[in-house]
A and B are shown apart, each in its own frame.
Chain A
């Protein structure tokens, strides 16, 4: 599972058209994006560029000894060199940023002024160039690395707050034009969210690949990309995708960028848009996305009841007996292979719901009951040989993720995973895969249960319309939990900021890539 982070490219092996065995970086694999950015690294490590098929490759010879030799001396060092480009010094990064600002200023100055409603005017150009130049001047005059770090943190936070995945260059462009922007999209993409632009004069300009820089995918490739996207999004059809997912897929389907040629296009902030009357609100409660709900353990909320009910049903369906007890000697739950004891509640206790999720996770991952009875959930069993600490952490983490996924962010002090997995990277991958699998299975179950069992109001409502709404609530998808939400809840914001600083190193890489792009 590669992400935008710089992991290893996947290498494949085939014969070229002359029948020579080659190892190559297949550009059709989603993990192998943007390999051309590393052209110097690849060239320096003996790779050749196949212009027809648009991939990097190495001749690997005909014998296993030769394969081993080429892999050890050229391929692996090349992949490591790409990976290591994440590291750079503060000063380098500042220089890189300034250089990339110069490049963008040059691009804006060279951009044609077509005018009209969506075209760049001379005034627009002057405005953007002046702001970029001012930002550059600020950077140049920063006294020390700490100030630069703070600036980068502001930009990082701004970038992370955007719903759309903008490049860092575009993040800067948006920020200098409107530092209060909350969620920025093009007019076309706002239409996908059933929103119109209120005031077109309040546009901002971002850089996007020009049409001539994009090579269209074939119908077959498009279908492959769509299939892969659907698979990753866990959806069966295009229509099941959310508006945001359709937007991201649309960006991918625009084509493969074959040359660094850009144009400037107008975008608008959410505050300058309005919901189209009579159409579904696809934006949801965007404003609420930045509000973190704080639930102390022992807090009561009827909002948690559907989750509690679904988990109880899950236990019942799978023959796991849940005994409700008045006292557990200070504990709130326990599991003993097919039997869970849970402290009594009214089904609206957030902490006890988390405990129920914790104990069910134990049943799925660590207890033998489901495995012995041949349950379909036996696949999640991993046993307890990893030790009690790890077992407890897995259950707690899973339960916490389940509750957090529904917006119940519980304060807890029991999570200290870096110390546990820092030394054993393979164990960390296994555990993360395990927890992810079990959490997503439970989320699917709870989601389905909530859809089939809408909450019924216990309070009389005055308006008939309100009554029908309360009896059959519209269930919509919730947003992902952000890392900063989680860091706040865990009380580790400073540690998380350190991670953001680490991410900054990745941004530096992006700056380097941008500069290389502008040179190409």
Chain B
């Protein structure tokens, strides 16, 4: 082997393993913006909550509640 380059034994190739999926929080942690990312998600969820409250849909029908509720 010459220079600074290092060549590993070809048998080491078997140590490359399947990778696991990542998620956006992994990225946020990697980039050091975890706190900002959580804040952004928080604000986004507040907006979603407001939409849910203000829309006309309810999870259950008023007429069926006696039958469906415990």
Interface residues of A (CB under 8 A from B): 1-3, 5-17, 19, 21, 23, 52-53, 60, 64, 67-68, 70-71, 75-76, 79-80, 83, 234, 296, 298-307, 348, 397, 401-402, 405-407, 415, 417-418, 421-422, 425-426, 428-429, 432-433, 435-436, 439-440, 443-444, 446-447, 450-451, 455, 457-459, 461, 466, 469-470, 473-481, 483, 486-487, 490, 492, 495-496, 498-499, 502-503
Q: Which of B7, B8, B10, B19 has the most CB of A within 10 A?
A: B19
CB distance from B38 to the nearest CB of A (A): 5
Say which size band chain B's interface belongs to: 35 or more
Partner of A19 from the list B38, B40, B65 (CB cut-off 8 Å) is: B65
- CA of A334 to CA of B70, assembled, Å: 63
- CA of A8 to CA of B40, assembled, Å: 10
CB distance from B13 to the nearest CB of A (A): 4
Q: Within 8 Å CB of B19, what residues of A?
A: 402, 405-406, 443, 446-447, 477-478
- CA of A455 to CA of B16, assembled, Å: 10
Closest residue of B by beta carbon distance from A429: B40
The answer to whether A436 and B37 touch (CB under 8 A), given A16-B65, A406-B16, is no
Query: B53 near A457 (CB under 8 angstroms)?
Result: no
Q: Within 8 Å CB of B16, what residues of A?
A: 303-304, 306-307, 406-407, 450, 455
Query: A76 near B50 (CB under 8 angstroms)?
Result: yes
Q: Within 8 Å CB of A474, what residues of B?
A: 14
Query: B53 near A483 (CB under 8 angstroms)?
Result: no
- CA of A337 to CA of B65, assembled, Å: 57
Q: Which of B15, B23, B31 has the most CB of A within 10 A?
A: B31
Contact with A along B38-62 (1 / 0, CB 8 A): 1111111110111011110111111
- CA of A70 to CA of B49, assembled, Å: 12
Which 10 A-B pairs have CB atoms at the shortest separation, nearest pair first?
Answer: A473-B14, A425-B40, A405-B19, A8-B45, A432-B24, A483-B29, A14-B59, A478-B17, A417-B31, A17-B69
Partner of B22 from the list A21, A301, A428, A480 (CB cut-off 8 Å) is: A480
Q: Which of B15, B26, B36, B61 has the most CB of A within 10 A?
A: B26
Partner of B30 from the list A19, A21, A402, A483 (CB cut-off 8 Å) is: A483
CB distance from B9 to the nearest CB of A (A): 7
